[in-house]
């Protein structure tokens, strides 16, 4: 029996364990980001390898069929592992059908439009699996924490985001959202690693320390985004991410389950070509 199936039989599917059910009030203060749900690191390496092979095969069928669009959203506080998840999990996908967008500080052109404009332009076409490294949720996260717009402006955005995601889903886009949860001690260690490693120091900015000082403000903002915007058509998955190996395993496993549910198939070949001998 495959490692994935063996663990599921014993511990249950990670998709069920980590999904934020609609209407759930998320409490990150009492959430354990070090949880691994019975997985051990050595076994998880084999399980992840199997999971990546599954993702590669599933994407190949989705790309060939060109009927489904998939949007994967990655969110988390600084150093939570968004880049690492893309590097260790999403590389299972052929880049031709997997555009990745990192949403940074809006440009002047983006600021001249509504806050969803820049995001909608990057949503996946049929056959694609698009990855958002940060996303439209920044407009109820950093915008809220730094008071970049009045409260009555960002308060409206939860329902606006739900409605926008619902529209995407109605038009055939499958949405899966991952919140990568780490604790303050793990963030401190990861930021320190960036400072101490000359090859990674470029990723550290002095402003990261100011952001870290707003930990509790961000926690509340994340809790509201998870609680108010996990829906049946665009669920959030709350992934314990202190252990990078478990984070990668969980994202690969859940994403694989989501893609399998699409039941994508290779399209039939051109009529009459079966048996053709190429000379």
Write out pLDDT tens, residues 196-234. Answer: 999 999 999 999 999 999 999 999 999 999 999 999 999
- Tokens (6 digits) for 267: 């399209």
Sheet with 173-181: strands ordered across: 19-20, 236-240, 173-181, 69-75, 129-133, 100-102
Give the range among 66-80, 185-199, 264-278 with minimum mean pLDDT: 264-278
pLDDT of 263 strictly over 80: yes
The answer to whether the predicted template modeling score (pTM) of the entire model surpasses 0.75 is: yes
- Please state the rounded mean pLDDT for residues 16-43: 97
- Exposed, middle or buried by CB within 10 Å (0-12, 13-18, 19+), for 118? middle
Domain ranges of the chain: 3-260
Contacts of 54 (CB under 8 A, 6+ apart): 252, 256, 260
The CA dihedral of 91, 95, 98, 103, to the nearest 10 degrees, is: 80
Report whether 247 contacts 85 (CB < 8 A). Answer: yes
Tokens 């991952």, residue?
178
CATH no., domain 3-260:
3.40.50.300
Tokens 């669920």, residue?
235
Report the pLDDT value the prediction gives residue 5, as an integer from 0 to 100: 74
- pLDDT band at 165; cut points 50, 70, 90: very high
Determine which helix (DSSP H) or strand (DSSP E) holds 145, and give its type and residue range: helix 142-145
Question: How far is residue 205 from each of residues 4, 42, 68, 77, 175, measured CA to CA in Å?
Answer: 39, 34, 39, 14, 32
């Amino acid at each position: 029996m495959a490692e994935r199936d063996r663990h599921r039989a014993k511990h249950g599917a990670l998709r069920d364990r980590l999904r934020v059910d609609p209407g759930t009030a998320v409490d990150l203060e009492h959430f354990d980001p070090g949880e691994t749900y019975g997985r051990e690191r050595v076994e998880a390496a084999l399980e992840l390898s199997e999971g990546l092979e599954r993702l590669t095969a599933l994407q190949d069928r989705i790309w060939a069929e060109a009927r489904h669009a998939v949007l994967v959203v990655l969110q988390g506080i600084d150093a939570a592992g968004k880049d690492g998840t893309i590097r260790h999990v999403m590389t299972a996908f052929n880049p031709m059908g997997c555009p990745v967008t990192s949403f940074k500080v809006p440009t002047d052109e983006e600021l001249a439009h509504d806050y969803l404009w820049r995001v909608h332009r990057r949503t996946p076409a049929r056959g694609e699996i698009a990855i958002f490294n940060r996303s439209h949720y920044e407009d109820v996260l950093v915008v809220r924490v730094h008071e970049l717009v009045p409260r009555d402006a960002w308060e409206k955005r939860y329902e606006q985001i739900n409605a926008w995601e619902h529209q995407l889903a109605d038009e055939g886009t499958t949405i899966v959202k991952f919140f990568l949860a780490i604790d303050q001690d793990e963030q401190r260690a990861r930021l320190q690693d960036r400072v101490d490693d000359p090859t990674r120091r470029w990723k550290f900015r002095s402003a990261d320390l100011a952001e870290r000082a707003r930990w509790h403000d961000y926690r509340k903002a994340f809790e509201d985004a998870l609680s108010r915007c996990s829906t049946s058509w665009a669920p959030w998955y709350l992934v314990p991410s202190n252990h990078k190996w478990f984070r990668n395993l969980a994202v690969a496993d859940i994403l694989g389950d989501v893609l399998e549910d699409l039941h994508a198939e290779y399209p039939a070949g051109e009529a009459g070509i079966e048996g053709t001998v190429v000379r």
